[in-house]
Amino acid sequence: MAAVDTIDYDYAHHFWGEKHLGFHVLYENMKHGEETVNEIGQFIKERLAMEEEYGKMFTKTLNRVSSFVSNGSSLECGWTLAKGTFELLAEIHIMLVKNLQDLGKEIAKYKDELTKTRKEAKQQDIIDAVNLMQTTTTCLQKSKETYFARCNELDKLKKESNVNLKEVSKMESKMLKSKEEYRAYVDKYETVRVDFEEKMERACKMFQSHDRSHFAALQQFLLMYATHHQEATIAAQQLVN
Are the C-beta atoms of 6 and 211 separated by less than 8 Å? yes
Are the C-beta atoms of 62 and 79 separated by less than 8 Å? no
Are the C-beta atoms of 202 and 26 separated by less than 8 Å? no
Q: What is the spatial distance between Cα 145 and Cα 178, in angstroms, rounded to a whole number?
A: 9
Render pLDDT for 35-74 as a digit per residue (tens, 0 to 9). 999 999 999 999 999 999 999 998 898 899 888 888 877 8
Burial (0-12, 13-18, 19+ Cβ within 10 Å), 96: buried
Q: pLDDT-derived band of residue 3, with 50, 70 and 90 as boundaries?
A: very low
Q: pLDDT-derived band of residue 1, with 50, 70 and 90 as boundaries?
A: very low
Q: Quick check: pTM over 0.85?
A: no
C-alpha dihedral, 136 to 139 to 143 to 145, nearest 10°: 110
Q: Give the number of other Cβ atoms within 10 Å of residue 241's Cβ.
A: 5
Render pLDDT for 142-180 as a digit per residue (tens, 0 to 9). 999 999 999 999 988 888 778 788 888 898 999 999 999
Are the C-beta atoms of 127 and 23 separated by less than 8 Å? yes
Q: Which pLDDT does position 8 carry in this prediction?
A: 62
